[in-house]
Amino acid sequence: MILLALSAGQPAWRRPSAGDVVVMVDVSPSTRTARYRETTALNDRVRQLLPGRRYHILYFAEGSPDATGGAVDGALRDRTVDRTVFHPPPAASVLLFSDAQFDPPPVAPPTFVVVDPLLESPADAAVERLGVRENRLLVTTVNAGGQRTGAVSGGAIETLSFTAAPGYVVHDFPLPNENPATVTARLGGGVDAWPENDALSIVTLPPPQADRWWVGQRSPAAGWKRLAAADLPSDPASYLAPAVVVIDNVPAADFSDVQLQRLRQYVRDLGGALVLLGGDRAYAAGEYQGSVLESLSPLASTPPEPSRHWVFLIDSSGSMSAAVGGTTRWQVAVDAVTRALLSLPPADAFSVGGFAGDVRWWVSSAPLVEAASRSFPPPGARPSGPTELGRALETAAATDAGGLAREVVLLTDGNAPLPNAEALGRAVRDRNTRVHLLAIGDGGIGLEALRRLVEQTGGTFLHEADPSRWASSVAELTRAATPDLLVSSPTTVRFLNELAKLPGREIRSWNRTWLKSDATRMAEAGGAGADEQGKPSPIVAQWQVGEGRVLAAAFPATEDEVEAFAALVARPPRDPRLRVNWVTGRRVRVTVDAAEGDECLNGLQMAVELFDANSSGLAGPVQTVGVQQAAPGRYSASFDAPSAPAVATLRVGGRAVERIALAGRYPPEFDRIGNDRATMRELAGRTGGRVIEPGDNTPLSLPSPRREVPLTSPAAAIGAVLVAIGLVRWRVGT
């Protein structure tokens, strides 16, 4: 009865069992040089570690392991794989021969990893990365062996050689502008066991097809969209279309303030490109001084050092108080001078005063860079009294000019006598002073004497009775007084740096300009274009403005020159709210930071589309990867690099905002050659095994699994027999 009760509890006996050992041999291509790939060496090593134990061998690479080794003349043949996969079968223990270049499985029997000495420091060299950045080809090589040579070829590239020194080296090559072409970087000059990773290929992409805007009166070449200055858009979104904007000899006054601000935003914030061309309506001749065009240009329209002291004298006699269109003649004259100051060289000095019986200085010997912040006339000033022309001119000529040439601009109706005009003219001229006159009346008694004095000093005389035209007349006087900033003497242009392939030529008209700090000289003019020291002057320059680039040429350029200028700086504009970062390699990662000002942009729909580089997108994307939001204003995605050259396009809300070329990648099996010690330790530690070093020849002490022997049936059977015997004895006894 006791045995029957025990059998109801299903007892079992757990006894020790030697169990079978599975020997798993990695025959993927990354282990090609391993010592264990020789069958004799493998068998000797297994018998050394498992003396007297039962085992069977399974060969694996990708997929299910099998028992067919594929031996060829005593060596194990490669399995064709894309990625090594280790999936051990149920077993008491696993003895593993591998470089451990795989992702360890979540569950495995106790695994003992045998380190192969020939995979510790394999002499492999590889083209690890290939990318294109701003018309430059970047080739990254990793070399664990001796020095190797390599070459870049394809498309319009003449074969370029490089040396892959041991270690991690980045090689940088220029790319010609051309149609899409496959470019290959390949290692040579030696033999390693893994030629599969000796080359990578990529398709070079021409600049994205974007508009090219031409603003000016000349007709551009084919491929340009011509706009009048008045037609330049004021909508900021319109400036996402052009890759380059050319301003061809257009004065600043032809643009509205809004249009000029849009040009600034296009270059600085959107990363666009601007080309400024010279002529008789550009730079100083186009009143660029103080304008947005001047701030964007790498060439200054005015000299960086002061050369003139500008003295403005405004007739403040009683006759100037006459009303004109809701204001007075005097106020119109003041406004005309105020506007003229903003177009003068900012390094020069200026003085402004009103005169009647004597001169009252409103501003005295101030730098013109402060003109915009100076207000005049002072409170309480008003026109009154008679005019004393002679005293005003004597006072103006006596002002301290700091050794500079003095330009006196006089606004008066001339309705006052000017005795001794000839002697006064000589005195003014001897003080290095010229007088420029804007006659603003219908004719005064001193006007003729003033005309002779102006001629005597070498100045300019203008007569304009219409107050609405006084501002333009004063500007005309100051332009005439400015020394030869538009030059008609022939000079020769010599192009430099990236423009050096352009032929030099003679130009007959050009703008005198000065190179700004941080700008790069791209062409210079000698002869008549030389500076005061006889050195060639800059006549073409470029520089970075915010995210974009600006190139300025101080002469009317030819079609070929314009094309070269545009090709040098043109780039597709970017949405300033989005900053995109790509990291390429075995895994491609894209990160997008989206913000407008200080506010993060959340909830945007983004995706990366991968196109076959040779299909031009006609067949649609071969893969689409969603870009997920990872934090406020931050979006990211990662994916395996394509196996063939591809083009990745980032779309935000369905709109393509950026594209890059991706190199076609060899299989992951050839990314890392050699023993992965970290994976070996992780696998052994997780399963209760260990890592066996090359010099460790000690037989393995493998864990002994216990085998359960069920006792239910024997206990029930014996109990039943004993019960039967007891019943028989009881019967016989009775």
The domain spanning residue 434 has which CATH number?
Answer: 3.40.50.410
Q: Is residue 91 part of a domain?
A: yes
Q: Is residue 209 part of a domain?
A: no
What is the rounded average pLDDT of the residues 387-404? 82
Query: Does the pLDDT of residue 16 top 60, yes or no?
Result: no
Statement to judge: residues 64 and 79 lie in one domain: yes
Predicted local distance difference test score (pLDDT) of residue 240: 75
Statement to judge: residues 420 and 317 lie in one domain: yes
Statement to judge: residues 337 and 395 lie in one domain: yes
Statement to judge: residues 535 and 462 lie in one domain: no
Q: Is residue 527 part of a domain?
A: yes
Q: Is residue 422 part of a domain?
A: yes
Least confident range of 199-213, 278-292, 482-496: 199-213
The residue segments making up the domain with residue 637 are 578-666
Statement to judge: residues 546 and 618 lie in one domain: no
Q: Is residue 591 part of a domain?
A: yes
Q: Judging by DSSP bridges, how do beta strands 93-97 and 136-143 pair with one another?
A: unpaired
- 10 Å CB burial of residue 555 (0-12, 13-18, 19+) is buried
- pLDDT single digits (tens) 338-372: 999 988 888 889 999 999 888 899 998 899 888 88
Say how many domains are in the chain: 6
Statement to judge: residues 589 and 474 lie in one domain: no
Q: What is the DSSP string of 574-641?
A: --TTEEEEEE-SSEEEEEEEEEETTEE--S--EEEEEEETTTTTTT--SEEEEEEEEETTEEEEEEEP
Looking at per-residue confidence, does 533 or 548 come out higher? Answer: 548
Which own/partner pairs from 234-241 qualify as long-range (CB within 8 Å, at least 24 positions apart)?
234/258, 234/259, 234/262, 235/262, 236/262, 236/265, 239/265, 239/266, 239/270, 239/272, 239/573, 240/270, 240/573, 240/575, 241/210, 241/211, 241/573
- pLDDT single digits (tens) 190-204: 778 999 999 999 988
Predicted local distance difference test score (pLDDT) of residue 530: 64
Q: Judging by DSSP bridges, how do beta strands 433-439 and 405-412 pair with one another?
A: parallel
Statement to judge: residues 469 and 527 lie in one domain: no
- 10 Å CB burial of residue 155 (0-12, 13-18, 19+) is middle
Task: Decide: pTM greater than 0.85.
Answer: no
- pLDDT single digits (tens) 121-150: 999 999 999 998 877 889 999 999 889 999
Q: Is residue 388 part of a domain?
A: yes
Predicted local distance difference test score (pLDDT) of residue 380: 86
Query: Does the pLDDT of residue 705 top 70, yes or no?
Result: no
Q: Which two tokens stand for residue 56?
A: 């069977």
Q: List Cβ neighbours of 343 (8 Å cut-off, separation of 6 or more).
A: 287, 289, 290, 475, 478
Predicted local distance difference test score (pLDDT) of residue 614: 66
The mean pLDDT value of the chain amounts to 88
Q: What are phi and psi of 233, to 5 degrees?
A: -65, 150
- Scanning 398-518, the segments in alpha helix (DSSP H) are 421-430, 447-457, 470-481
**114 HSE (CA, 13 A, CB side):** 27
- pLDDT single digits (tens) 633-646: 999 999 999 999 88
Statement to judge: residues 317 and 466 lie in one domain: yes
Statement to judge: residues 636 and 682 lie in one domain: no
Statement to judge: residues 506 and 565 lie in one domain: yes
Report CA-CA distances (Å) from 227 to 246, 270, 283, 520, 552: 10, 20, 20, 29, 19
For residue 194, give the 3-state DSSP assignment: coil
Least confident range of 522-536, 537-551, 678-692: 522-536
What is the rounded average pLDDT of the residues 704-733? 74
Statement to judge: residues 526 and 625 lie in one domain: no
What is the rounded average pLDDT of the residues 196-214? 83
Looking at per-residue confidence, does 221 or 80 come out higher? Answer: 221
Statement to judge: residues 582 and 628 lie in one domain: yes
Predicted local distance difference test score (pLDDT) of residue 50: 93
Under the banding of pLDDT at 50, 70 and 90, the label for residue 208 is: low
Q: What is the CATH number of the domain that holds 181?
A: 2.60.40
Q: Which two tokens stand for residue 502?
A: 């352009």
- pLDDT single digits (tens) 540-557: 999 999 889 999 999 999
Query: Does the pLDDT of residue 12 top 90, yes or no?
Result: no
- pLDDT single digits (tens) 503-519: 999 998 899 899 999 99
Percent of the chain at pLDDT exceeding 70: 94
Query: Does the pLDDT of residue 180 top 50, yes or no?
Result: yes
In angstroms, rounded to a whole number, what is the distance separating the alpha carbons of residues 248 and 566?
13
Q: Which residues pair with 96 in a beta bridge?
A: 24, 113
